[in-house]
Structures are given as structure tokens and as C-alpha cells.
A and B are shown apart, each in its own frame.
Chain A
């Protein structure tokens, strides 16, 4: 008995340092967290980021406005098409450009599909990290369908580069729609299945309830946006509050949590998937209503003329040459444009001096402020909670480090 008693005495000043990452299954990307432990209790957690810093903002100063689209793919690579949309939207704000209605609806459609795919990854992987493997498998079939849809529309599954300044680089193909309809039928069933596995699962409750709870005031102070902020009880969603791309014409609701813990964030994300499906349904109907039409502006000072014209008409050839060699004629000024990405507010701050390249381009990633609160949230908790918390923050290192 004596020997057991001594082994549970508190260890005074005996701390253990554990490196979580840079390559740890729960970090989803390359980031490192130095944990100082007393037994299983975390006394300090020092995040060290920058392993995926590619200098996107520096590169952007040397690339033309349309060339930068490919770099936005690599920010949040789980929902790259949303970054494309957010970036193109910012440049169009700078140009004060109105894009064709069909392009707007397609952008909404693919953004919502990407939101579903992103939430699938976040919820699924978070469950895997905690030990519930099955949900992930059911959902990943749906994510696969979304990526098939992206492949049909943009030719690429992950790095889509779908948008151009002024619209999209091509229209959706005909075989997109039957698959999208099938997805709309199958995805709700898969989400139901996920909820059956997790929502009333006592183990899931034990692992997630109360972990990483945050008050709304604290969340605002930490600069939270997106599902993490809404889980804390703040109904802030840019699609509703500052509608862009005609989001005010769609009928959908904003789910809100109460405590901001991992469980609430899970519930918010699941409900957002359902709401996104509603938007996808409406967008598909709208596309049918609109009928065929242009998906990029008919202004050859901004968007490239069609190839047939370039080969047959002199003016179009000149426009093509001017656009490629000298870029778009940009006004001098600065804009900040934000869209509601899957993780929260994705902002682009562009300073233009009128040149071919942006003078300064800043990406405001949603997960950097969220992740900066990590230490406060896991201090005094168990390592297992740290893993749950990290997954529910949905930290994507490509976006965190840029």
C-alpha cells in the first residue's frame, strides 16, 4: 500500500516536456505544440507555427491578379474553391465590377459544396482523433462526391483555381447536375448517420462537453469568426449580415450554440451542413431558371476574350495581348473584402498602386486568431482535451502559415 501511496503524490517541480507535432496525426498539417505536463495535466502549451509558411503575400506582390488565384487554392486546401471565390470577390470590389448572375449563382453553389466538404473533414477527423473512427468513413464518401463535382467543374479535385477576375473560367458541364442531385439525396442520409453515431453517444459527450468552452466576450476578444464564434452564441455570419453574391436571396438559417465547447461546435457544423444543402438546392433551381448565359464579364479590359475571337479578330487579339502582358487596368486604392469561408471570415486586403501586380496583398486567415487562443483553452486540462480542442478549432496549417 505504501508504494502506491507514494506514486500518486504530486510531483513538485517535475515537469515533462512533450512535443506534439510538427508531425502528429492530430495537427492536420505541420505545426508544433510544446506541452509542459504535470502528469496528464497541461501547465503550458506553446504553439510554434510557420512550418508551412510559403510567403504567399510576398509572392502575391510579384504575380498578376489572375495568377494569384492559384495561390489561394493552397490556403485552406480543404475548401480551396471558397478561397478562390473570396479572392476574386475582393479584386472585383477593387474594380467595382458586377459579375454575371449565372457566375454568382455558380459561385454560391460551389462555395456551399466546399463548406460541406470542409465541415465533413473537420467533424470527421475530430471524431477520429478522439477515437470514433466510423463516422469519418460514412462522411468521406460524401466528401468524395463533392470532390468529383469539383473535378467536373474545375478539372481539379483540390487545387481548383475555378474563379477568374470577373467570373469563372468556364461553365458547369452537363453531367454536373445529375451527380449534384444524387448528392443532395445521399448527403442528408449520411449526416443522419453521423448524428446517430455521435450526437447522443455518451462517450462523445464525455470527451467533448465542456472542453474549450468560451464566453462570447472572450471569443470576440480573441477575434473568433465562423462556426467557432457562432458556437459561443454570437449569430455573426457574413452571408446574412453583409450579404455578398446575392446570399440575401437564399433561404437558410444560422445555427448558434451556447457554450462554445467542442460539442457545440460539432452541433453547429452539422447543422451548417444541412443549411448548406438547402442553399445548394436553391442554387441548382436558380441555375435551371436562369438558363444558359455568360459566366464571365463581357469586358475585355478585365477578362480574356474567347479563343475563337482571339484567332479571328484583331481587337480581341490586342485585348488578349494587353491583358497578358500588361494586366488589368487597376484603380489606385485599397479595399478589404471579407467572405464567410468554412472556418470563418476570410479577408483579403489589397492595396493597388495601379500596376499589373497588387502593391500589397494581405490574406486574413480565419484560423490564426482562433488558434492563438489555444494556450488559454488547454491550460489546466488533459492532453486528450488538447487533441479534441485542436481538431474542433479546425486549424488548417496552409491557411495558418500562408
Chain B
């Protein structure tokens, strides 16, 4: 079923799907951001109506055809009628945006994308073009950096976190005095 839909996308929107692979029963297609909204519209009409998840994967230094493509924005769709899943990946460069699914001009098919996009923006720093309220979701507004980027340190770069924590525990001797 999903094969038929993907063939139809190939017919209607030639070269929209730039890559496709199947692994362990999961179907993944890669779509350039220019064609993303058209493909989404198409699969929605074909039954993929439940947007399960939006996330991203950071591949620092990745180059595709000489162009920097640091992030994959990953969407998971579920077709409730056939119970098939489809994963769409949209590669973008650092700082490059992806069309939002909740823009004011779009039909309200995927209201859930609102918070998911805010979360991806928060944790990866990927802007979503047309999102009405793109502010951080999980961290606070002046949080430095984007935690899920690979170059973000695990301890958050917090001096207080690492400086003393590796020192051996000396008990409360400093409180007792000499």
C-alpha cells in the first residue's frame, strides 16, 4: 500500500523523493524542503493523517553533493486505516529553516506539530518557517545553545557541574574547622 502511494508521489511530483530505504519494516523517504508541504498534503489525502512525532538528528560536518546538510528533521506518520507507518526526513543545513505544519495559511490537519516543532527548535535550533509562536518549549528563554546538538557538552558546559564533582569526598571536615 505504501509502495503504491510512493509511486504516485513519484508520478505527481517527480524527483520529490530524493532517497528511500526500508529497514526492519520501516519505510523512510527523504524529501527536500521545497517539496515537503506538497508531499505532506498528498500523503494526508492518502490516509496518513496521524502525525505521530517530529524530531531531528544532528550529523555535524555532513555534506551531500557539496552542500552542507547538518540536520535531518524526522517526521513519523501513521495511517490509521492500513496501520502503516511512514518516516519522512527533510535534510537541512545549520540555520536553514523547514516549512512549519501549523502556519496560519495551512489547513489545521496537524495541530500537534505546534509543540513538536517548538521542541525541535528548542533542542536543535532548527527554525520552522511560518510557525506562529516559535519559542523554546523545554528549556528557558535565555538558555545558551541547543542541548541535543552533538557539539553541546553533556554537562551543559556548567562550570559548577564538573569543577568540583570529580574531587574526592572529604566529608564535613571543612565545616568542623581545624
Contact = CB atoms under 8 A, between A and B. Distances in A.
20 contacts: A50-B136, A50-B138, A53-B138, A58-B152, A58-B154, A220-B49, A223-B50, A223-B110, A223-B111, A236-B80, A241-B83, A334-B23, A334-B87, A335-B26, A336-B85, A338-B52, A359-B57, A362-B53, A362-B74, A364-B55
A351 interface: yes
B76 interface: yes
A333 B152 CA distance: 23
Interface residues of A, number: 40
Given A58-B148, A347-B52, 4 more contacts: A62-B154, A336-B87, A359-B57, A360-B57
B154 A373 contact: no
B108 A234 contact: no
A172 B49 CA distance: 41
A179 B46 CA distance: 50
A369 B24 contact: no
A50 B112 contact: no
B124 to A, nearest CB: 11
A360 B24 CA distance: 17
A138 to B, nearest CB: 36
Interface in A339-374: 345, 347, 349, 351, 359-360, 362, 364, 368-369, 372-373
B115 A93 contact: no
Given A221-B109, A351-B57, A369 B139 contact: no
Nearest to A53: B138
Contacts of A222: 111-112
Interface in A13-71: 49-50, 53, 55, 57-59, 62
Nearest to A236: B80
B51 interface: yes
A221 B110 contact: yes
Given A234-B80, A336-B76, A347-B52, A372 B148 contact: no
B83 A242 contact: yes
Contacts of B42: none
B58 interface: yes
A251 interface: no
A50 B137 CA distance: 7
Nearest to B109: A221
Contact of B116 (A221, A336, A349, A369): A369
Contacts of B55: 349, 362, 364
A255 B172 CA distance: 58
A256 B137 CA distance: 32
B140 interface: yes
Q: Nearest 10 pairs between A and B by C-beta?
A: A223-B112, A50-B138, A372-B115, A369-B112, A364-B53, A333-B23, A53-B138, A362-B55, A221-B111, A360-B57
Contacts of A338: 52
Contact of B148 (A57, A223, A225, A241): A57
B153 to A, nearest CB: 10
B137 A49 contact: yes
Contacts of A362: 53, 55, 74
Contacts of A347: 52-53, 76
A372 B138 contact: no
Nearest to B140: A50
A49 B114 CA distance: 14
Contacts of B87: 334, 336
Nearest to A332: B23
Nearest to B123: A57
Contacts of A402: 138
Contacts of B57: 351, 359-360
B103 interface: no
Nearest to B138: A50
Nearest to B107: A221
B147 interface: yes
A203 B158 CA distance: 52
Interface string A201-245: 000000000000000001011110100000000101000011000
Nearest to A235: B80
A96 interface: yes
Contacts of A369: 112, 115-116
B111 A335 contact: no
A112 interface: no
A272 interface: no
